Amino acid sequence: GNSVTQMEGPVTLSEEAFLTINCTYTATGYPSLFWYVQYPGEGLQLLLKATKADDKGSNKGFEATYRKETTSFHLEKGSVQVSDSAVYFCALSDGSGTYKYIFGTGTRLKVLA
Amino acid sequence: GAVVSQHPSWVICKSGTSVKIECRSLDFQATTMFWYRQFPKQSLMLMATSNEGSKATYEQGVEKDKFLINHASLTLSTLTVTSAHPEDSSFYICSAKDVGANQPQHFGDGTRLSIL
């Protein structure tokens, strides 16, 4: 079945450090891939998405490239800020028509000033 | 755009009470909405898929008589936790999907339910 594997956290970085959060997936067909961010006590906010191979999603300095050959969708940011501290979720939608998501376990990021 | 409003954001009630949570898509029509439950420091667990004008589809292990879902319009879905007990205490999050196969789900801010 479909699955999403996300690197375990927590990830602790200093401000202005480079961020990578790994996400790999298993899916049949052609899934759409998403990154969401969750701040404490809130719902999830869409960070970026990619709907086909080689697509690059980007938003607020974050980016991720849909790599079909490595079944990956790693999240990167060149210079993190304290305000980026949150939990990040990778998700796929398998396009089966149900539109359900398969979520990764989430990666907690803590950025220190 | 693509704002989902969830209400209430926090509710505390006595055991045995029924609690209704509303999920509204404010600026788009959502034929499909989803209800999730999230335990502390864990990922989201899908409870059910709600389709406008039809019965909800529940995930395995979710009691449909316990968690009543109604999706009466293209912008509103409700989750009612019936006869709530302390073990139902959790963070409940809804999402709504815009029309179009590749459109993402947009999430509400969640409802923290505490049953005393």
- CB-nearest to A43 from B43, B97, B109 is B109
Q: Which helix (H) or strand (E) holds B93?
A: strand B90-97
Q: Taking CB atoms and an 8 Å cutoff, what residues of chain A touch B51?
A: none
Please state, as a whole number, how many other Cβ atoms lie within 10 Å of the Cβ of residue A25.
Answer: 22
- Average pLDDT across chain A, whole number: 93
The Cα–Cα gap between A112 and B103 comes to 34
pLDDT tens, per residue, chain B with 116 residues: 789 999 999 999 999 999 999 999 999 888 899 999 998 888 899 999 998 888 899 999 999 999 999 988 889 999 999 999 999 999 999 999 987 777 889 999 999 999 99
For the cut 80, the answer to whether the pLDDT of residue A97 exceeds it is no
Residue in B113, B110, B116 with CA at minimum distance from that of residue B7 = B110
Q: Taking CB atoms and an 8 Å cutoff, what residues of chain A touch B97?
A: 99
Minimum Cα–Cα distance from A39: chain B residue = B109
Helix (H, G, I), strand (E, B) or coil at B85: coil
Percent of chain A with pLDDT over 90: 82
What pLDDT score does A98 carry?
77
